[in-house]
Amino acid sequence: MKKPFVTLDKLKEITARYPTPFHLYDERGIRENARRLKQAFAWNPGYREYFAVKATPNPTILKILREEGCGADCSSLTELMLVQEVGFSGSEIMFSSNETPDEEFILAHKLGAVINLDDFTHIDILKDLVGIPETISCRYNPGGKFSISNSIMDSPGDAKYGFTKEQLIEGFTKLMGLGAKHFGLHAFLASNTLTDKYYPALAAVLFHLAAELKEKTGADITFINLSGGVGIPYRPGEHVNHIEAIGEGVRRAYEEILVPSGMGNVALYTELGRYMLGPYGVLVTRAIREKHIYKEYIGVDACAVNLMRPAMYGAYHHITVMGKEDEPADHKYDVVGSLCENNDKFAIDRMLPKVDMGDLLVIHDTGAHGYSMGYNYNGKLRSAEILLREDGSTQMIRRAETPADYFATLRF
């Protein structure tokens, strides 16, 4: 049973100030989770988490994470501009992009960001634009399938990202010839994994590759970026990843593979988004309509523009009817928004307590890839973002859009 991090009484207080729908974030939970992650990898002196900005691109959230020692992983021009405004600079910024426009490489270089190249052809592009920096990273794609214990499988061979091993060997050699002195290695092989074995397995792949690259090219590999992929349990009863066990599994692989290869000083980086923020954000919405035809429908004042994941690929998000947590879930509903699209459904055939008009519903685990995936279809407007501070106060950290915002870019 998932429990919201906010009570009904507190929500009533918040909704008296801010109209629904809105995304609500839990500062205490965010900070505590960032500290757990940092402690799990404290055995590696150079460790740093580079938060995936695309997951939750809000400056107040980014400032909190920076205070907790995190860097920022960016993948676009505006994300680079955002973290610059927040105060990130130099090696606090990782720039990982693909099919990268020239202006993005130029700004990343200007900010002193660590550039993580996605493709062999980008070497000459970067050289001609700004020159090759002394520290550079490259993304690896092993191809084929990647599986763990027959439960997690992804298909790197179908992904558009990264170098092949052969390209990395040639690329590292070429980059050294162009002035690169220190190298990083990066890979992302599976998404939202619910097993403590994923990161250690990925680490082993990268550690073996790093040792081989050092042997074949002589490159000074100073860091390895394990990227993201550590998941969260969207459904009640799913496995909860234990970051302490994950960190320990990576440590064992490090000592078994890198240390004997003379690479015991390599720093480890992560770029987690969903794990960092997902459980510490909720979408707060209100039941405003009901419909009784072939199915029972509850219409809410949020829609897919506020949370795209269920409409986009049927993702599950748990729903709590606030104040009715202890009542039997004996009513079957589709919980839907108002878009003129039949996939605008937060839940299908979901068993919930009886929902009455005006009830507040909390849609869980929207702290990452929630607001950030919003859009303006049907002329709908994106909602506010509210931060629940550690002291119990609230702060609007992004106002809701208005019709004036919608019309601001139009020309009549």
Residue 33, H or E segment: helix 27-40
The C-alpha atoms of residue 196 and residue 252 are separated, in whole angstroms, by: 13
Exposure pattern of 95-105 as b/e (b: 16+ CB <10 Å)? bbbeebeeebb
CA distances to 118, 215, 232, 388 from 13, rounded to whole Å, are 47, 62, 29, 12
Which residues, 6 or more positions from 401, have their beta carbon under 8 angstroms from its beta carbon? 376, 381, 382, 383
List C-alpha distances in Å: 203 to 212, 227, 317, 408: 14, 10, 30, 47
The two three-digit tokens of residue 232, written as one number: 């969260």
Show the tokens assigned to 149. 């214990």
70 included as an active-site residue? no
- Label residue 403 exposed, middle or buried (CB < 10 Å: 0-12, 13-18, 19+): exposed
Phi first, then psi, for residue 73 (nearest 5°) are -100, 120
Burial 307-318 (b: 16+ CB within 10 A, else e): bbbbbeeeebbb
Catalytic residue (choose from 70, 74, 138, 340): 340
E strands present in 97-134: 114-117
Query: Which residue from 374, 361, 363, 362 is spatially nearest to 312, judged by alpha carbons?
Result: 374
Parallel, antiparallel, or unpaired for β 114-117 and 135-139?
Answer: parallel
Sign of CA dihedral 115, 120, 125, 131: positive
Question: How far is it, in rounded angstroms, from Cα 308 to Cα 314?
Answer: 9
Q: Give CA angle at 76 (71, 82), nearest 5°.
A: 55
Q: How far is it, in rounded angstroms, from Cα 277 to Cα 274?
A: 5
DSSP reduced 3-state for 362 = strand
Strand partners, 300: 287
Taking the C-alpha atoms of residue 83 and residue 71, their distance in angstroms, rounded to an integer, is: 9
Residue identified by tokens 């960092």 is 276
Structure-block tokens of residue 153 = 């499988």
The residue whose two tokens read 């049927």 is 314
Active-site residue list: 340
